[in-house]
Chain A
Amino acid sequence: AQSVTQLGSHVSVSEGALVLLRCNYSSSVPPYLFWYVQYPNQGLQLLLKYTTGATLVKGINGFEAEFKKSETSFHLTKPSAHMSDAAEYFCAVNPGGGSQGNLIFGKGTKLSVKP
């Protein structure tokens, strides 16, 4: 069965430091991959997505992610953290095939940013 694993339920960084949020997936076919951000008591907002083509994907708010098929990973990075980046981040995969629009979500990583 397809699954998504986000390593670390909580990550804390200092303002200006590198942000690295890890996501590994299992899928029997080439997947479509997504990162979402959620601020408290709000819905999810798409940060970026990988479907086909270039494996380094740039998203909103300075975030980017790289699809590495050999490592089945899609880690999210940002060179310099801002206080406004404090939120919960979800990695999701559409495993393809007949699943159409269905997504499988990881359990989320809560990012804290220290001044």
Chain B
Amino acid sequence: DGGITQSPKYLFRKEGQNVTLSCEQNLNHDAMYWYRQDPGQGLRLIYYSQIVNDFQKGDIAEGYSVSREKKESFPLTVTSAQKNPTAFYLCASTTAGTRVIDEQFFGPGTRLTVL
């Protein structure tokens, strides 16, 4: 079955540590996204990538970094510079192109907690 996988489901981080969240898709989608979700805040865009080896900052990119070396993979690193990283992180993907507007497909999420 095609879909998006995120791992781990739960992640605990100590102060000052960098952690990397995995996102993999086998939908052959060009575009991938990372969102942060906090209660009452909706989804806020961290980074997105429309094509391999290219990515753009979203609304809240500070303290985060990404890479897009393969079409299927878009890992997110939460660095020690992110002051309040405890949140639910969602990865999504969609087809890309100026003539195509399609829905985003979401992974199951990773809940990150800072100890």
Q: Which positions in A face B, CB cutoff 8 Å?
A: 9, 32, 34, 36, 41-46, 49, 51, 90, 94, 96, 98, 100-103, 105-108
Which A residues are CB-close (under 8 A) to B42? 90, 105-108
Judge whether A9 and B97 touch: CB under 8 Å: no
Docked complex Cα distance between A9 and B42 (Å): 10
Give how many A-B residue pairs fall within 8 Å (CB-CB): 58
The 6 closest A-B pairs by CB, nearest first: A43-B106, A107-B42, A101-B94, A44-B106, A105-B43, A32-B101
20 residue pairs of the A-B complex, CB under 8 angstroms, read: A32-B101, A43-B4, A43-B90, A44-B43, A44-B90, A46-B105, A49-B103, A94-B101, A98-B98, A100-B31, A100-B97, A100-B101, A101-B31, A101-B50, A101-B100, A101-B101, A102-B33, A102-B48, A105-B43, A108-B42
Docked complex Cα distance between A50 and B107 (Å): 22
Bin the interface of chain B by size. 20 to 34
Q: Which positions in B face A, CB cutoff 8 Å?
A: 4, 6, 31, 33, 40-43, 45, 48, 50, 88, 90, 92, 94-98, 100-109, 111
Closest Cβ of chain B to A1, distance in Å, is: 11
Q: A100-B50, A108-B42 are in contact. List 11 more A-B contacts (CB 8 A).
A: A41-B109, A43-B106, A44-B43, A44-B90, A44-B104, A44-B106, A46-B103, A100-B96, A101-B50, A101-B96, A107-B42
